[in-house]
Amino acid sequence: VIGQGRLAATTDYAICREADVILIAVDTPVDPATHRPQYTALRGAVSALGQYLQPGTLVIVESTVAPRTMLDVVAPLLESTSGLSATQEVYLVHCPERVMPGRLLANLKNVSRVVGGMTPAAAEMAVILYRHVVQAELDVTDCLTAEIVKTAENAYRDVQIAFANEVALLCETVGADVYSVRTLLNKSPGRHMLMPGAGVGGHCLPKDSWLLVSTAGDGFQPRLIPTARNINDSMPLHMVDLVVEGLHEAGCQIAGAKVAVFGYAYLENSDDTRNSPSEVLIKRLQELGADVRVHDPFVREHDRRLDEVVQGADCVVIMVAHDAYQQADLSEWYSLLKTPVLIDGRHVIAPTSARASGFVYRGIGQG
């Protein structure tokens, strides 16, 4: 593709003058303190291309944005920098991407898309473009609806995970097994409880919930979504508590303990480390004085021999359900560890197997 001149990279926005279609796919983070959108990259891209924009161009924002961003931010900025009307002289569309790490090309072809047009004509123009690639449904709507759909679908999943995590914490407290509870609960019609775990990471879920509620104004006070975010953000720190408990049972203190952390990516069998729950866990363990070692076969800086990471450690903490950990040899781990403590944040190792192998065991949702 590159050799044929069909794909090229450039920082020169002047090329937009010749473009019939312009897609904007830039980072749209939220401020860690205020949870408000940070649109530096989005504003920069729109401003830079605006001065070269020609009438009749199709401009599509694929970045996930807060409700009313297209109307209140993108359209006015595009008009002020180009001198063109966003509703009469260009075709302006919001078609948020729906892709996952490791499934990018398959998702582009096979997952439906919401096509939100600033005008019906703009949406129809975008459908003609996407039909060349997307084999699934293309649902035409307005920009505001498309903005809410994308942020709400990720907030919905975040809330579901938070529910699973809250049930897991309850089970730990009362002495139940959350995975048995989940299996039986999901036999009830219309129920589908997700898996609890050691935290929620990635580029989308930790921020899109905040994007959804960030522009509603004083007339709306979000309650459920911020609570869910707080629950999910707390899970890596809860894992730290389990580490401290497990070490204490084994007669060790956290200060000076050697802790082997398995997994640094946010997703199993992926190298994506954005908003990694392991990062939060490791920082807190180090603050408590632990000597932390990290293994992850998919992350270059942590790709090393597993036995070297386990050797002489006081505790193994499973943060990611990579296949390499699913195929664990517990007897080998036991022989390499100085202190046989196993903390499982992803239900990789059966508690009965761990305890039968001689480990002090703690796991999310295991009372």
**Residue after which a domain boundary falls, among 101, 136, 171:** 136
pLDDT of residue 101: 80
Separation between Cα atoms, residue 105 and residue 27, nearest integer Å: 20
Whether 163 and 204 map to the same domain: the answer is yes
Per-residue pLDDT tens digits of the chain, which is 367 residues long: 788 888 889 999 999 999 999 999 999 999 999 999 999 999 999 999 999 999 999 999 999 999 999 999 999 999 999 999 999 999 999 999 998 887 889 999 999 999 999 999 999 999 999 999 999 999 999 999 999 999 999 999 999 999 999 999 999 999 999 999 999 999 999 999 999 999 999 999 999 999 999 999 889 999 999 999 999 999 999 999 999 999 999 999 999 999 999 999 999 999 999 999 999 999 999 999 999 999 999 999 999 999 999 999 999 999 999 999 998 899 999 999 999 999 999 999 999 999 999 999 999 999 8
| Rg over CA atoms, the chain | 24
Please report, for the domain that includes residue 112, its CATH number: 3.40.50.720
pLDDT of residue 1: 79
Domain count, the chain: 2
Whether 279 and 326 map to the same domain: the answer is yes
Structural tokens at position 183: 């299996």
CA 90 to each of CA 56, 78, 82: distance values in angstroms, whole numbers, following the listed order? 5, 10, 10
Whether 72 and 193 map to the same domain: the answer is no
pTM: 0.94
Whether 52 and 23 map to the same domain: the answer is yes
Cα 266-272-278 angle, rounded to 5 deg: 35
Separation between Cα atoms, residue 243 and residue 220, nearest integer Å: 40
Domain that holds residue 119: 13-136
CA atoms in the 13 A half-sphere facing the CB of 197 = 21
Please enumerate in sequence order all residues whose Cβ is within 8 A of that of 85, keeping only pairs 6 or more positions apart, or say none: 79
**Residue after which a domain boundary falls, among 104, 136, 168:** 136
**Residue after which a domain boundary falls, among 84, 103, 136:** 136
Query: What are phi and psi for residue 113, nearest 5 degrees?
Result: -130, 150
Report if residue 144 sits inside a domain.
no
Q: Does residue 279 contact residue 233 with C-beta atoms inside 8 Å?
A: no
Q: Does residue 229 contact residue 339 with C-beta atoms inside 8 Å?
A: no
pLDDT of residue 110: 95
| Active-site annotation, residues | 150, 204
Separation between Cα atoms, residue 242 and residue 342, nearest integer Å: 10
Whether 119 and 156 map to the same domain: the answer is no
